[in-house]
Structure 1
Amino acid sequence: MEDKEVFLKIDNRDRLMELSQTIRKELPFSASMHNCLVLHARGYASSQDFYELKAPSNNPVILSRSKGEQDAVTLFCCEAAVGLLMEGLEKTSLIDWTKPFFFLHLPVYMAEGIRALVDRRAGGQGDFQFVDTFLYSKEDDEEDVVCPAGMRVCHLGERGVRQLHAAWQYNKYVDVSKLLSFARHPTNVGVYEAGVGEVHRVELTSLQRAEDEESAVAWVALTFYGTTGMLYTVESHRRRGLARLALRVFSCLQDKQGLVPHAFVEEYNDSSRRLFSQLPGWRSITQTLIVGVKISLH
């Protein structure tokens, strides 16, 4: 029987890396898909399956779907290939329109096509949200990263990862064991109390991992979708610049790893908008679309 599926599953890590480099030229719109491809190509993450459209095109059309129960679909193509993508989404069996799910981190130029698709396939039951996209450029960040006395910056140990999971507003979607596995790779930064010490420059090339029993006081990490997220400072240590410190270290580390540091900020989140607007190297550059199909985003 002829296979009528229009998307081909990618099982080769080299192909994932090749695609990440191909779409990097489409920044800032490709940032999330680029990072996600890199994380999976390197074996850091295994939370998604990736597919590319079989139709011949000079520009790749990529779909990724979270494993297990389908609850998130991410898409990328350049603006010139949006028509091909929409045709593929009409025909694919990879999306079950009878169940609730999310379209995550879509370029704004897909908005019209996705809205029409949701109207046809899901009876218009789509909650559309546009979020500001902040992008980091190392070229615009020439300041040294300095840690205050009595603190040190490390990758998170096990207790730090468990703290992160407990504080994360979306933790119900991700089992802590998956975060613990993900955290074995350099995809997070934590700030820890140190008994002694002076103000010191953070050495990014020799960042250590905290002991598993140590508690962090601030942290930030990559999500499974390649975005900067889960930023948090424990209440007793707020207003000391520790979130800013964690973000600055994390931004530089991502850049060194060939990732594209970026973050999404909702319209109502004034504190995060102020923080990213004041960070060296960061600026708001576009918007990104998130769609809850048969799911409220609010």
Structure 2
Amino acid sequence: MSHSICHDVMCIVDLLCWCQYKCECCSVLWSCPASASTRLESETGSASSSIMAEQVLTRVTTKEQLLALANVLAGDFPLSVTIYNCLIFHVQDWLSCMNFFTLDDPSHSHAVIMQMINLPSFVFVYCRESEVNSLIQAIKKTNQLMKQEDLIYTVPHYLEEPLQMLAQEMEICVNTNIVHRFIYQPHLDTDPLRCGPGFRVCRLGKAGLQQLLLKSTFLNNKIPEESMLRLTENVPAVGVYLDPSVTKEVFLDIQNLPYAGDNEIPVSWISPTVYGTLGMLGTEKDFRRLGHATLVTRVAARLFANKGCIPLCHIVKNNTASKEMFKKMTEWQLIRSEISLTSAETKKNIN
């Protein structure tokens, strides 16, 4: 068994003890870490305000509470994976950009709202089907939550209709987008990782990370660079770089993957996101159809899983190229889609 130890909080996460589960809604056999918990010794320090009325929803603040909530949500995989990963990011002090709210005691509640602090209109919502009515009533009471400009709601499929009805009742026009979710299966990822001549694989340096954020149209570049730098110091972002000095195929040792130079620009890239997925995948036009996107995805997924999190990718319905790429990788399996609800003014260039 391997352990990842946070120097500040001594949070021990079982990394290599993975269990297999079968998703009842989509009949997919998949794997996840057996445990996400044990000992914590400090609390989160954020006292950021939120648009939510805390008399309706309980804000989850301490690391103990965040970890307890993660353990509760682990019982609802794969539907709860996105928020689970983000909870682990915050428990480990890799991020502090989200607020989390529940209906009840976080050690028992399965209804969770995750809201970006600097962009409160960006919200992830999860609950079990049995909690839908209670969650909708709570959202209704905190009416500011549905009246944000450029609203982006990402929810399980069974929350789409209730939220649509609530939006109609509140005279809010929303659009619906289908988000395909692919989840990584480590037990199916056994082939060695190799990079061809003329290229090398590295962790993104500063210029590479800036390139990734610049090329991504998601959230109109509203994700703080400092948050991404902090996250990718701990959960690596990966790129393929031109390197004429590499004259033959190289087998990759991802445990000792070097950083690229701070001024180097990759030709293909992928990164963990602040909302708990792998994403912002891109390849420069002249280097497409060479397998670079597949390679960086495979490398990043292994590194993501090695941190005790569940690699997951969200792909919008009209992104055919990415969807076909993931279908060809046997270690990635399509699970039940999520729904993204956006206000009528929100641009539809989410990727």
* Alignment TM-score > 0.5, same fold: yes
Residues 135-150 of structure 1 correspond to what in structure 2 (within 5 A)? 135-150=183-198
1:63 aligns with 2:130: no
User: Following TM superposition, by how much is the alpha carbon of 1:57 offset from its aligned partner in structure 2, in angstroms?
Assistant: 9.4
Contact 1:32-1:105 at 8 Å conserved across structures: no
Q: Name the counterpart of 2:164.
A: 115
- SS of structure 1 residue aligned to 2:233: coil
CA distance in 2, matches of 1:164, 1:116: 37
What CA distance in whole angstroms lies between the structure 2 residues aligned with 1:54 and 1:25?
17
CA distance in 2, matches of 1:292, 1:263: 19
Residue 202 of structure 1 aligns with which residue?
Answer: 252
Structure 1 residues 275, 213: CA separation in 2 closer, same or farther (over 3 Å shift)? same
Query: Residues 216-235 of structure 1 correspond to what in structure 2 (within 5 A)?
Result: 216-235=266-285
Equivalent of 2:148 in 66, 81, 99? 99
Inter-partner Cα distance in structure 2 for 1:12 and 1:291 = 30
Question: Which structure 2 residues correspond to residues 39-54 of structure 1 after superposition, within 5 A?
Answer: 39-54=89-104
- Whether the 8 Å CA contact 2:179–2:314 is kept in 1: the answer is yes
Query: Aligned to 1:221, what secondary structure does the other structure show?
Result: strand
- Shift in alpha-carbon separation, 1:176–1:115, aligned structure 2, 3 A: same
| Structure-to-structure mapping, 1:130-209, within 5 angstroms | 130-170=178-218, 171-194=220-243, 195-209=245-259
> Which amino acid is 2:230 matched to?
S
- Separation in 2, partners of 1:19, 1:296: 31
> Aligned partners of 1:297, 1:284: CA distance in 2, in Å?
26
Number of residue pairs the alignment of both structures matches? 294
Equivalent residue number for residue 80 of structure 2 = 30
User: Which residue number corresponds to residue 290 of structure 2?
Assistant: 240
* 2:324 is the counterpart of 1:267: no
Question: Aligned letter for 1:152?
Answer: R
C-alpha contact 1:23 1:34 (8 A) present in aligned 2 = yes
* Greater relative contact order (CA < 8 Å, ≥ 6 in sequence): 1
CA distance in 2, matches of 1:55, 1:10: 9
Q: What is aligned with 1:12?
A: 62
TM-superposed CA distance for 1:27, in Å, is 1.8
1:4 to partner: Cα distance:
6.7
> Match for 1:87 among 120, 137, 151?
137
The alignment-based identity, stated in percent, is 26
One-letter code aligned to 2:133: G
Q: CA shift at 1:281, angstroms?
A: 0.5
Q: Distance in 2 between matches of 1:283 and 1:183?
A: 25
In 2: Cα distance, 1:138 partner to 1:119 partner: 42
Is the 1:143–1:280 contact (alpha carbons within 8 Å) kept by the matching residues of 2? no
State the alpha-carbon separation in 1 of the partners of residues 55 and 251 from structure 2.
Answer: 53
State the 1:9 CA deviation: 1.4
Partner of 1:288: 338
Structure 2: gaps (5+ residues)? 1-52
User: What's the CA shift for 1:13?
Assistant: 1.7
Distance change in 2, residues 1:273/1:90 (3 Å):
same
2:175 to 127, 132, 140: 127
SS at match of 1:183: helix
Amino acid at match of 1:109: Y
Q: Check whether the contact 1:100–1:292 (CA below 8 A) recurs between aligned residues.
A: no
The amino acid across from 1:203 in the alignment is: D
Q: Distance in 2 between matches of 1:213 and 1:273?
A: 31
Task: Decide whether the 8 Å contact of 2:214 with 2:221 is kept in 1.
Answer: no
Q: Distance in 1 between matches of 2:190 and 2:67?
A: 29
| Aligned residues of 1:73 and 1:101 also touching (Cα < 8 A) | no
Task: Give the Cα separation in 2 of the matches to 1:219 and 1:4.
Answer: 39
Residues 40-86 of structure 1: CA distance to partner in whole angstroms, max 9, x if unpaired?
11111122111111379954221111113422111111222222211
Cα distance between partner residues in 1 of 2:181 and 2:106: 31
Whole-angstrom CA distance in 1 between matches of 2:57 and 2:193: 44
Seen in structure 2, the aligned counterparts of structure 1 residues 87 and 219 have a Cα distance that, compared at 3 Å, is same
